[in-house]
Structure 1
Amino acid sequence: MKKVKKSLVVLICLLFIPVILIGCSNKPKVSADETAKILFNFYVKGDKNDLSKISMPKDKIEELSKFQKDTIIKEIRNGFLKEGLTLKNDQLEQIYKARLEALKKVTATTEKISENDKEAEVKVKATYFDEGKVSEKAMTDAVKEVEKLKLTNRQEIVSKLLDVYVKNLKVEYQNVKPSTDVKEGTYKFIIKEKVWVPQDIKKFASDIGSFNAGK
């Protein structure tokens, strides 16, 4: 899942391409702290409901939602391919959906630290869970379960292992409990055509993409 946060950098850049071309007034309708929360909810939790508040056209929202899903699924697939394992499309879909539901349990708060006519500082705090540990436990339990079957055919072993892993991972995601503590970061926002945007887009995206990893 380490590469997932890298995809967020691409996503956040794509998100703001149309935004900076919209509007004729420099005064944002949505505050910097609210904008930060809208972005966090979309990138991390897949919540696109409030993107229209920051001047994002409906067709662009749908395009970015699809891009986000396709990118995450591709990265999950590639991660297994590097280990010589191939997940089926329906298994990838199951993992994606289960992961997304787990991420919806994460909560974030945003606080405006300072603001003037040109820039603002916003602190983002969010609960998290360690995705690496979730996946590791699902695989460890899967290996133990498959070993008990005493299978001898390698292809059959691999197929069964992946089936059990996906089943276990879904359960682990369902049972995941976000942290009681939070990860946090403070980010500078600037005004681009009546919309607050992170000044350092890459850092903002990379940081919030790593919050849920618990590292």
Structure 2
Amino acid sequence: MSRAAGQIDETKTEAILDAALALFGEKGALASMEAIARRAGVSRQTLYNRFPNKLEIGRALAARRSDAISAPLRAGGDPETVLTALAAGLLDKLCRAEAGASMRGVALMSPEMPELADAIYQAGPAEGLRRLSAWLAEQDRLGLVSVPDPDAAAEMFSGMVLGHGHLRGVLGVAQPVFDLEARAAEAARRFLRAFAR
């Protein structure tokens, strides 16, 4: 089926984001827009029509990741089920080989392109924390937990789940072997115990 005039081919957008993710991990700030277009198999015009610069690509990558990880917060369910699913998503992303490469890529870019690093942080991790904070505030309002400072609690939960995983990822150190589902469930249970009514 042909596309209607003005309709965006999302497969090309995803190919661009996948190519950028790989190249940012490999080359950091040295990844060029031309190399991204070439790796994605799209014309430079197609790339620039969707993303005028690397800053916008970084934002889109971070937003895509944040949307995927925070999906359990939108799915509904009891707090333990939701937090277990959220923790499992965080751990799953952390343990993938490309996660460490993308974290290293952002770390490599940050001194040369601090605005890009900030845009990625704001659209990704910070947005995830905002969503978790809002969800925790709603659970508090419903009387399911007692969370006087949802922003701080959101950071605590993320730190509890990830531990030193981010540091290992940035340094390229192998993650220890662990039972992802068991760790996610334990983090959710312990967190909820700390914030029980």
Q: What's the TM-score, normalizing by structure 2?
A: 0.35
Q: What's the TM-score, normalizing by structure 1?
A: 0.32
Q: Which has the higher strand share?
A: 1
Q: Which has the higher helix share?
A: 2
